[in-house]
Amino acid sequence: MNKTVKQRRQFVEKDHDKLAMTRQCRLLNIYRSGLYYRPVKASEEELTLMLLMDKLHLMDPTMGTRRMSRQLKRMGYQAGREKVRRLMRIMRIKTVYCRPRTTVIDPARYKYPYLLRNLDITEANKAWAVDITYIPMKKGFMYLCAIIDLYSRYIVSWSVSNSMEAEWVVGVVKDAIKRHGKPEILNSDQGSQFTSDEYIGHLKDEGIKISMDGKGRATDNAHIERFWRTIKYDKLYMEPVNDGLDLYEKCKYFINYYNKVRGHSSIDYCPPIELYKNAA
């Protein structure tokens, strides 16, 4: 089927008497959450806390539950460590540790080594990085997944969703490969979406080397973390998002600007598309 994702979504029948929505989406090769763009609901109190926590984390990613809780209390909000821990888990906030951790990582979950250390990336599509971030909205929140080419800083694919299903992430990877070819290496963190059989299996089928951050390491996925800070502070915090469709349109506008217009100091102030297209 050569139709676009938007065209395939039009074939979905919400009241079909034989095929469930999940089955229809699987047959059409689309992910279900993309049909809705509906934010996840939360109380006003929690939305306020989550917005503050998101900003605090971007300013200081070493802030764990204890410091986060204390900082929120100094700002006049009551939020114990258990509540902060629960919200951080929902927001997918990953604390960066200033010193090596002594905790032994479960080998059943930590499946693949970090392949980017000391790697000289001199061409596009040599290595990509993928990640998911929480996006605050006026009446809820959603998630943004993006894949960045580490040589050019070009965003090769992205999507928004109200859930963090592995199927959604695999869909973003498939879209990137379809439009740009496949990378030699794809780096991620150790989140459940990236250790899922669906994600691992797809990368293996494509012959892509799998790389994963060490837990709590500050620099392992720094480029995509920098992009999260940029899109939030330069767009989404300045223009608060109303709903899911508004989020999609704002991300679409800014990522197009980021890729094609905005200069980057780390690549001699040229837009990522120039470096990506010249090297790809």
Per-residue pLDDT tens digits for 48-91 = 999 999 999 988 888 999 999 999 999 999 889 999 999 999 99
Domain range for residue 18? 5-30
Residue 50 lies in a domain: yes
Mark whether 158 and 268 lie in a shared domain: yes
pTM of the complete model:
0.81
Whether 124 has a pLDDT exceeding 70, the answer reads yes
Number of domains present in the structure of the chain: 3
Helix (H) or strand (E) holding 275: helix 272-279
The owner of tokens 């061409």 is: 123
Please list, in sequence order, all residues whose beta carbon lies within 8 angstroms of the beta carbon of residue 27, skipping any fewer than 6 positions away: 19
Do 24 and 48 lie in a common domain? Answer: no
Instruction: Let me know whether 133 and 167 are in one domain.
Output: yes
The proportion of the chain whose per-residue pLDDT surpasses 90, expressed as a percent, equals 52
- The answer to whether residue 101 is domain-embedded is no
Strand 140-149, strand 127-137: pairing: antiparallel
Burial class for 135, CB neighbours closer than 10 Å (0-12, 13-18, 19+):
buried
- β partners of residue 140: 137
Number of C-beta neighbours around residue 153 at 10 A: 23
